[in-house]
Structure 1
Amino acid sequence: MNYLSAENLTKSYGDRTLFKNLTFGVNRGDKVAIVGANGSGKTTLLSILAGAMPPDAGIVSHRKDITIGYLDQQPDLNDALTVMDVVLAGESAQLDAVRAYEHALAHDDHAALEKAMIDMEKLEAWDYEAQIRQILGELGIQDVEQLVGSLSGGQRKRVSLARVLIQNPDLLILDEPTNHLDLEAIEYLESFLNTNNGTLLMVSHDRYFLDRVCNHIAEMDNGQLYTYKGNYAYFLEKKEERELAAASELSKDRNTFRRELEWMRRQPKARGTKAQYRIDAFEDLKEKTSGKRSDGELDLNLRMARLGSKILEVENLSKRFGDKILLDHFNYTFKRPDRVGLIGKNGMGKTTLMNMLTGQLRPDSGKITTGGTVKFGYYTQTELDLPENQRVIDVVQDVAEVMKLANGDTITATQLLSRFLFDRSKQYDFVAKLSGGEKRRLQLLLVLVQNPNFLILDEPTNDLDITTLNVLEDFLLNFSGCVLIVTHDRYFMDRLVEHVFVMEGEGKVRDFPGNYTDYREWRDAQPKKSAAQPDKPAPAVAKNQTPTPVVSSAANTVNATKKKLSFKEIREYETLEKEIESLEQRKVDVVDLLNTGGPHEQLIAWSREIEQIEQSIAEKSDRWLELAEFM
């Protein structure tokens, strides 16, 4: 059953055509994701399909008897309303009953309350109201009476998402639904959409989310829409096949074009009508071969400033806002090359910690000592405040006109922008004309162009396309400085970090060895504590000490019944801690030697030793984690 169909859609902005004569459809039960490069027109297409924007040409039609819910990237909400008022602003008998009940309750109107309760019972709306509060809570909105005008941009997006989900429409259209959600909220949304029987159309760059939720992928590429029936992993496989076939076809077309061009040049100016069909075919072939182009490849091969042995020491760091404790005597010494993920629910203090590390916010107490060679590169959630009437090339030249690459070569601002997939025409566009993803890519460029050696990335995956994310991941894997990352993209974090700081609330920070999935698996394996059982305080992490997962007394009791470590295993556990610490220090020493330079053979030997050390650390850490569960 067809829910949505679009025929021959065309949309242009000025002299730029996003897509032309595009045809697309969504059937009942489909869960479709639209993917593609930044600026390819994904959000524009979604707005047109949702009816929020008209196309220049073409027709969009929806099945008449279905309801549609649409989540915009920048939701327009009434600042004077409360969260609950906004969420209840829908059209249904159940919503009317819940609105009447909430109003009577707020105004202590007993007569109205009695009638509202009867209506709630009749319409079976009690579960509906409980579902509203549950969805809001899962998305991190606890105070339903606060005014929308007091919410942050991320909170507004979550309220809008809750409103759309609560309406339970037949067709759900979502533009970047995981942006501004913490990791647990994303997993809740993932579960919600997987158990919901509705139809879904969305734009997202979250690869785990795409793989687990969607059964169709539609790729925007050079104004065309290519559809694949399957999840994201299937799409990647079939896309590679399509690109290989397209490359082969393009090569054949260009060979034919060269032969026909030679024929055209040999013809006299006054051609007879006999060869007109061949002339027309030549013009079609010319358009076909010139229209196909590669998207280019983002190149982040930029130079890093030298990083000394002393990097960043944090001692007894504490911070609170009012009665809320964000950090309580936090300690850590950063080593090279630390790759740390920072996780925790929204409002736990992740951005606060990063702002203190970079000197933008003062702690209440404690000490932060920064090494003399440290040069921070701070990529923030907030978009840079750039003049909308400034050209892209001028923005970069204001920072530097010439930049050095890792191999010592120098490039101009124009060449650097080209490497960041800003073609010549785009470089001279005004900032106002850039898409959200293109602005974020420009922001990333402005951070990296300053040659930092300690990168702090606050939600770097928001609005960046998947191609850019893949290249950024490769760059960070080869980055020899320190990296501290906050991201809701679980794939991005799993690929990059070696341990995570888990902000658990009340100022507690757990340092867990492993990536996000390792932590979740460990956490989910822990037995649930009873409500009466208090939490054990998280121990402070000592400098250069291998972090130990804190296991509750309940976990000790349960695990003891499962298995009791032998004396030999206890000694192995204690020895592993020392061995891992020793290997980490040796790795730092060898990296320092490698950076000082030397004979070619020696450099190769040091590189191989680093690989062997990293493999040994990984193996010993796995065994240490296995034993830690039973300590």
Structure 2
Amino acid sequence: MNYISVENVSRSFGERVLFDNISLGINEGQKIGFVAKNGFGKTSLLDIIIGKEQPNTGSVNRRNDLRMAFLLQEPDLNPNSTIEEIILASDIPTIKIIANYEKALQNMEDADKYQAAFDAMDSSNAWDFETKYKQILSKLKLDDLSQKVENLSGGQKKRIAMAIALLSDPQLLIMDEPTNHLDLEMIEWLEEYFKQENYTILMVTHDRYFLDRVCNEIIELDNGKLYTYKGNYSYYVEKKQERLEVEQTTQEKAQQLYKKELQWMRRQPKARTTKSKSRIDDFYTIKEAAHNRRKDHKIELEINMERLGTKVIELHKISKSFPGKKLIDNFSYNFIKGERIGIIGKNGTGKSTFLNMITGNLLPDSGKVVKGETVKIGYYTQGGIDIKPGQKVIDVIKEYGEYIPLNKGKIISASQLLERFMFDSKKKHDFVEKLSGGERKRLYLCTVLIQNPNFLILDEPTNDLDIPTLNILENFLMDFPGCLMVVSHDRYFMDKIVDHLFVFNQSGTITDFPGNYSDFRAYVGNTDLALDKEDTAPSEKVITQKPVEKKTIEKTGPTREQQKELSRLENSIKKLEEQRVKLQESFLDTSLAPEQLAENSIKLDQLKADLEEREMEWLELTESIG
């Protein structure tokens, strides 16, 4: 059954054409992921589909009785209303019936009112819906419905809008960045929910695991054309690469034919026959194909980085609490060169507080943070760039200098640097307030990186960035030789760039887990994460052991032999980590002979294997100690 038909639509702003003469059908049962670079027309096409904008040409036909729900990137909610009032005002009749029934339960003395509410629940078959209603509110952590919207965070507002969209029982659900501001537990619940429920979905998201696990079709808007891939995100990546290879071959053939026809054109006399004129027309068609180069700009992030000394950052028994909440309790850690740490935990467990203590923006209640003399921190915060009225994009970069130092003594102008961050000549001279959300984040990232940090902290860097920019950022971070610490709900991003995790618990404890996010999920299983539960005792672990069929014995702590072995393994792991970093840094030395580089590569592989073995021994020992 067809829900929406988009036929030959075009959209342009002045001379800038976003897309021209594209068509799309949305049918029952499809779960479509919509991907494109920032600024290529994703939002405009989405607005045309939902009727918020009109196309310059073409039409959109919607089924008359179609029930649609829209989840916008930034929900527009009345700040003076409570959560309950917002939900009740959502025009979902069954919710009003449930609300009346729950009020009647609180006043059982009024038997007539209670009976009327009970009968309304029966006649509208609202009992099953009530279960769904409570489950969705619970999973989205909307427990206190009396809270006013003006006191809520952006994430809480997004969750209210998500709840309303899901509860409206739509046939077609259209979502713009549904996973932004959701924690990992909610994202994984949402994935399972969409697998079970019979929704037809069209969504824009940069969350590649979410696309992979939810969608059965991907559409891509690329250089004004729409491409369809009948599969999930992994299938799309594979088939897109095949398409690009075919396009490159076709372009090369067109260029060869163009050169041949150009020679023929130059040999022609002024008076041409009809046959010649036909060939001349073909020539201009060939010329257009030959010059139709793909506009793929790649960010080449080769910013110079100040060298880190032996001492990086040391955390000595730091603690931090706020009234009624202990966030960080007696945590110690010594960072070493080349570390790549991911930070995970529920919203409100102290992740941003932890980063602010490391950067010196916030002092711990007890303990101390010691920073090495050579450490230069680059801090990418969730707040984003501070927009100054009337400031142009080029002026933002020029605040850091007309020229920026690169590796190997090279320099680059502020204008050239913006081009590498995919800002074309026109965009460079646009006012910052005219940029899209993703473009502002890209500009902000640029300002952080050009300051040459050697300790890079990224707090939710993937929000609002398009997938092509994410891929390029990941490639840069893979080669970044300094220390890297990342807070992100993007599991694909975390899996690709981090080596181990700091797992934040509600009790204030932090566990150092030796692996990426997928390793962690495989370890704790698919049930509720232990890190999501309030600790009832100080000794309770973030990562819980699986039950074994043995007699329960009272633990008295590690034995002296276990303590010695634990200390030996930790020292061994630390030395192996230091050796790994040195070997990795050796690949940056241009004076080394190819034979030496090959030998170092073999050593690095062996060292990684030894390190993995020691880490597994450490993990098994800590499990046995309990």
**Shift in CA distance, 140/430, structure 1 to aligned 2, threshold 3 Å:** same
Confirm whether residue 620 of structure 1 aligns to residue 620 of structure 2: no
Give the aligned partner of residue 574 of structure 2: 584
Cα pair distance change 1:279/1:231, threshold 3 Å: same
Total equivalences in the alignment: 613
Which residue in the other structure is 2:38 paired with? 38
Q: Does 1:413 align with 2:414?
A: yes
1:486-507, Cα deviation, whole Å (9 max, x unpaired): 1111111112222211111022
| Residues 1:259 and 2:270 are matched in the alignment | no
Change (3 A) 1:251 1:316: same
SS at the partner of 2:244? helix
Partner in structure 2 of residue 544 of structure 1: none
How far 1:525 sits from its partner (Å)?
A: 7.8
Alignment of 1:308-323 (within 5 A): 308-323=309-324
Q: Any idea what SS the aligned residue of 1:522 has?
A: helix
**Closer/same/farther in 2, CA of residues 112 and 624 from structure 1, 3 Å limit:** same
Query: Which residue pairs with 2:361 in the alignment?
Result: 360
Cα pair 1:391 1:431 within 8 Å, conserved: yes
Helix, strand or coil for the counterpart of 1:600?
A: coil
Contact 2:17 2:224 survives alignment (8 Å)? yes
Question: Would the alpha carbon gap of residues 354 and 14 (structure 1) be closer, same or farther in structure 2, given more than 3 Å must change?
Answer: farther
2:232 corresponds to 1:240: no
Q: What is the alpha-carbon distance in structure 1 between the residues aligned to residue 474 and residue 109 of structure 2?
A: 58
Give the equivalent residue in structure 1 for 2:231. 230
Q: 1:456 Cα deviation (Å)?
A: 0.8
Secondary structure of 2:11's match?
Answer: strand
Alpha-carbon distance in 1 for matches of 2:114, 2:347: 35
Equivalents in 1 of 2:184, 2:153: separation in Å? Answer: 18
Q: Tell me the equivalent position of 2:592.
A: 600
Alignment deviations for residues 325-360 of structure 1 (CA, whole Å, 9 cap, x no partner): 211222222122221111111122211211121122
1:69 maps to 69
Aligned counterparts of 1:233 and 1:43: Cα–Cα separation in 2 = 23
Measure, in 2, the Cα distance between the counterparts of 1:401 and 1:407.
Answer: 19
Scaled by the length of structure 1, the TM-score of the pair is: 0.89
Partner amino acid, structure 2, of 1:87 = I
Cα distance in 1, alignment partners of residues 384 and 62 from structure 2: 36
> Offset of 1:379 from its aligned partner?
0.9
1:558 to 534, 548, 569: 548
SS at match of 1:558: coil
Over 3 Å counting, the alpha-carbon distance change for 1:91 and 1:551 in structure 2 is closer
SS of residue matched to 1:77? coil
Relative distance call for 1:526 and 1:238 in structure 2 (3 A) is closer
Secondary structure of 1:621 counterpart:
helix
What secondary structure sits across from 2:495 in the alignment? helix
For the 8 Å contact 2:4–2:27, the answer to whether it is kept is: yes
Partner of 2:483: 482
Amino acid in the other structure paired with 2:20: K
1:497 correspondence with 2:498: yes
Distance 1:273 1:430 in 2: 52
- State the alpha-carbon separation in 2 of the partners of residues 224 and 29 from structure 1: 24
- 1:132-171, CA deviations, whole angstroms, 9 ceiling, x for partnerless residues? 2322332233322111121122221121111111112000
Looking at structure 2, the residues matched to 577 and 556 of structure 1 have their Cα atoms a distance apart, in angstroms, of: 25
* Separation in 2, partners of 1:597, 1:240: 33
State the partner residue of 1:518: 519
Instruction: Tell me the SS of whatever aligns to 2:505.
Output: strand
Tell me the distance in 2 between the aligned counterparts of 1:623 and 1:559. 22
Match of 2:164 in 1: 163
Q: Structure 2 CA distance, aligned partners of 1:480 and 1:528?
A: 32
What is the Cα deviation at residue 579 of structure 1? 3.8
1:323: Cα distance to partner?
0.9
Distance 1:619 1:27 in 2: 51
Kindly tell me: are residues 574 and 150 of structure 1, through their superposed partners in 2, closer, same or farther at Cα, counting changes over 3 Å? same
In 1, Cα distance between equivalents of 2:256 and 2:15: 30
How far apart, in 1, do the equivalents of 2:13 and 2:114 lie? 53
Is residue 572–residue 614 contact of structure 2 (8 Å, CA) maintained in 1?
A: no
- Distance change in 2, residues 1:222/1:447 (3 Å): same
Structure 2 counterpart of 1:47:
47
Q: Is 1:458 paired with 2:459?
A: yes
Counterpart Cα distance in 1 of 2:107 and 2:21: 55
Contact 2:69 2:170 in 1 (8 A): yes
Q: Given the superposition, is the C-alpha separation of residues 274 and 610 from structure 1 closer, same or farther in structure 2, using an over 3 Å criterion?
A: closer
Verify: 1:93 aligned to 2:93, yes or no.
yes
SS in 1 for 2:401: coil
Give the conservation status (yes or no) of the 8 Å contact 1:190–1:209: yes
Alignment of 1:520-559 (within 5 A): 520-524=521-525, 535-538=536-539, 555=545, 558=548
How far apart, CA to CA, are the structure 1 residues paired with 2:214 and 2:564?
43
Q: What is the TM-score when the length of structure 2 is the normalising length?
A: 0.90
Instruction: Give % identity.
Output: 46
Residues 205 and 211 in structure 2, CA contact (< 8 A), matched pair in contact too? yes
Question: Once structures 1 and 2 are overlaid, which stretch shifts more, 282-291 or 602-611?
Answer: 602-611
Deviation at 1:572, TM superposition (A): 9.8
The answer (yes or no) to whether the contact 1:30–1:216 under 8 Å persists in 2 is yes
Unaligned 5+ segments in structure 1 are: 540-548, 563-569
Does the residue aligned with 2:25 lie in a helix, a strand or coil?
strand
Q: Which amino acid aligns with 2:212?
A: D
The 1-side partners of 2:567 and 2:35 are apart by 44
